Amino acid sequence: MTQVTRPTWVEGAAGSLFDIDNLPYGVFTHDDEPPRVGVRIGDQVVDLAPVAASEMLEIAHVFEEPSLNPLLALGRPAWSAIRTWLTALLTDETERDLVGPSLVPLAEVAMRMPFEVADYVDFYCSLDHASNVGRIFRPDDEPLKPNWRHLPAGYHGRAGTVVVSGTGVRRPSGQSKAPGAAGPGYGPSSRLDMEAELGFVVGAPSELGSRVGVDAFADHVFGVTLLNDWSARDIQAWEYVPLGPFLGKSFATSVAGWVTPLDALAAAHVDLPGQDPEPLDYLRVGPGAGFDIDLEVVLNGETVSRPPYASMYWSPAQMLAHLTVNGASLRTGDLFGSGTISGPAPEQRGSLLELSWGGTEPFTVAGQERTFLQDGDTVTLRATAPGTGGGRIGLGEVTGTVLPG
């Protein structure tokens, strides 16, 4: 899958995690200028609006917007054409005079929420995560529900509380019921958790009443972002029967400031680990439906887990086909999460619930015994994947600090 591309002329980018084969998109502000679309290369942001305007690109206006949505709405052929144009600009030395003045150091910009979320759906696609949660929440029951191996289970989350990396996350309050208590009590969550996920960002919409088959995934999905599905386990445990997670999740979901285009992950395709039983026709995928993306969960600067996305049972194309099999339409800005990514090994678990086994097995961070999140804790997710240039590319990190409730 290695593509022959000339090296970029942008200093410091070649060989980095944000080399010419990456080129994620985000929305940035610089000084007091209005937010607009940028592409990251190395430690620089290309301010696309002036470059596209000076080249008189027909779609230049999409880069002047405070969200990626107009770009997302253009669809796959336009996304590919823009990527080809950008690659040429950033590798052709003769374009340096044109583009150079529009490079802004990453350290000087603030990243905004990159897209307006239309609907947000969260799936539950890790066999290891679902099994662990089942064992922790329902120790006397089969860990997996009977439907789990037949469909990628999912639910709708709150689109309005998806926030960009760096946003503080206030500890939620709510109802929970202590084991053995007569009734529920009210107060700040004492089991605040994180979940390491990938989020898939839909660009091209679909019609109500139509379906998006597994083969149409790349026509609709623009790219991928790291996602932290903050979770209040005590609130969730009390509320989730029978309507599923609600307030235990809806207070905040963090996404990275950068969306990595699917094109940048062309060399990261891997086969799924295997599905047994074979899924129904509309969920059948061929080789290479998975993604080999390595995540890292960092708590207060210390790596506490390394979840491998390649271990996921259900692929993103299957999630999308399932999401639309009933005729539900897609809108530009729809976001769907993979669910917590946990690998089979204990050090690959993507939530503190699992890392501390429901709070019963504390783990050590910076010499302290830890279970769930404390006020002031900072959680950062990072990830890398094979790039088309033969090295690795980085996904934009997502970070958040817990504020007191």
Instruction: Name the residues that contact a second copy, by CB under 8 A.
Output: 118-119, 121, 124, 145-147, 150-151, 153-161, 163, 170, 172-175, 177, 183-186, 208-209, 232, 235, 238-248, 250-252, 277, 280-282, 322-323, 325-331, 334, 403
Q: How far apart are CA 39 and CA 199, in angstroms?
A: 19
- Residue with smaller CB distance to a second copy, 155 or 357: 155
Do residues 88 and 96 touch, judged by C-beta distance below 8 A?
A: no
- Residue with smaller CB distance to a second copy, 119 or 219: 119
- Residue with smaller CB distance to a second copy, 326 or 360: 326
Residue 156 CB, nearest approach to a second copy (Å): 4
Based on the residue annotation, tell me whether 156 is a catalytic residue of this protein: no
Within 104-258, where are the H helices? 127-137, 217-220, 233-239
Sheet with 36-41: strands ordered across: 103-105, 44-47, 36-41, 25-30, 109-112
* 122 labelled binding-site residue: yes
Do residues 116 and 67 touch, judged by C-beta distance below 8 A?
A: yes
* 5 labelled binding-site residue: no
Q: Which amino acid is at 167?
A: T
* 167 labelled binding-site residue: no
- Residue with smaller CB distance to a second copy, 140 or 281: 281
* 197 labelled binding-site residue: yes
* 249 labelled binding-site residue: yes
Give the residue from 309, 91, 354, 52 showing the smallest Cα distance to 199: 309
Residue 391 CB, nearest approach to a second copy (Å): 38
- Residue with smaller CB distance to a second copy, 242 or 287: 242
Cis peptide before 152 (omega within 30 of 0): no
Core vs surface per residue 103-112: b (16+ CB within 10 A) or e: bbebeebebb
Give the residue from 368, 381, 379 showing the smallest Cα distance to 300: 379
* 120 labelled binding-site residue: no
Cis peptide before 184 (omega within 30 of 0): no
Residue 92 CB, nearest approach to a second copy (Å): 41
262: Cβ contacts below 8 Å, ≥ 6 apart: 218, 221, 222, 223, 224
Q: Determine which one of 129, 150, 220, 322 is catalytic.
A: 129
Question: Where is the binding site for Ca(2+), in residues?
Answer: 122, 195, 197, 229
Question: Where is the binding site for Mg(2+), in residues?
Answer: 229, 249, 253
The residues that are catalytic are 129
